[in-house]
Amino acid sequence: AKSNGRNNYQFFTADMNARASERLSLETSMRDALSRGEFEVFFQPQVGLEHGQIIGAEALVRWNHPTQGLVAPSKFIPIAEESRMIVPLGNWVLRRSCELAAQWQREGLPPITIAVNLSPLQLHQSNLLDLIQDALDTAGLDAKYLELEVTESVVMQEVEHVMAMLHGIKQLGVKLSLDDFGTGYSSLSYLKRFAFNKLKVDQSFVRDISSDANDAAIVLAIIGLGKTLGMSVLAEGVETDLQLEFLRRAQTDSIQGYLYSKPLPSDAFRLLMLENRPL
């Protein structure tokens, strides 16, 4: 067993090296990927439970890597955060999303709200409010159709600065939602300090609502809390009719998940809106 230990160690380091070099190669190729047009924004519908219609869409970035194919966000977003590439990338996603939303409205499609993820590093740009206003002006999109999603981790750091920025965003007329709710820390104290328009219940709580009494209780509590504080509540990761039934009974305002649609390329999302299929 002792002699094996050494071999295991070698396998382990070989694996670590492979991962580290994959990481490095992704980081290097990400630098030029933006200018080469390798990123694309996909859209996943958000459906209101009252009428069963698409009321919004979350913008989710995709990377069409020239040799590795489609790279998942779970692989490159963390690298983009560490290398600060998330700042130019996130700003590009914001501009592109506003542009497409305005274009769809000009084509006569029913106006919807576009939700764009905002990373903690983006929130620390001193000119963020100007960047948002410029993205709206350039696209010709009314601020009320833009929503920015922040996670609880954002609100954790440099509270004063973050609060000031969130208030500034709200004053532009842009909406704010608290993403992945329930997975971070100190959620409750921030709910008291800032009036988010929407709470997004994390998919980890939604997954087993129809079988796990604890998850069901947590989701009911989050929905009640959100409503009491005057927020709209959206459940993420809804995949089954059973989950939908539970969420309907619990008076969730809207849902997002594979049950209605996966995130789609912009053209396919546009067709889905035209189709106007009820949930």
Residues near ligand C2E, by CB under 6 A: 44, 60-61, 72-74, 77, 86, 90, 93, 117, 119, 179-180, 203, 237-239, 256-258, 263
The Cβ of residue 278 has, within 10 Å, a number of other Cβ atoms equal to: 9
119 touches which of ligand C2E, Ca ion, none (CB within 5 to 8 A by kind)? Answer: ligand C2E
CA 39 to chain centre: 16
User: Could you tell me how many residues of this chain bind Ca ion (CB under 5 A)?
Assistant: 5
**Residues 75-94: x/- map of binding to Ca ion (CB under 5 A)?**
--------------------
Dihedral in degrees, nearest 10, Cα atoms 10, 16, 20, 26:
120
Residue 180 found at the interface with Ca ion (CB under 5 A): yes
Name the nearest CA neighbour of 146 among 101, 109, 181, 178.
Answer: 101
- Is 184:152 a contact under the CB 8 Å cutoff? yes
- Is 114:143 a contact under the CB 8 Å cutoff? no
Closest CB 6 distance from ligand C2E, rounded Å? 39
Nearer to ligand C2E, 14 or 36 (CB): 36
Nearer to ligand C2E, 41 or 102 (CB): 41
The Cβ of residue 134 has, within 10 Å, a number of other Cβ atoms equal to: 15
Closest CB 28 distance from Ca ion, rounded Å? 26
Closest CB 36 distance from Ca ion, rounded Å? 26
How far is residue 84's CA from residue 121's CA, in Å, rounded to a whole number? 7
Please give the residue ranges that form the binding site for Ca ion (CB under 5 A). Answer: 117, 149, 179-180, 236
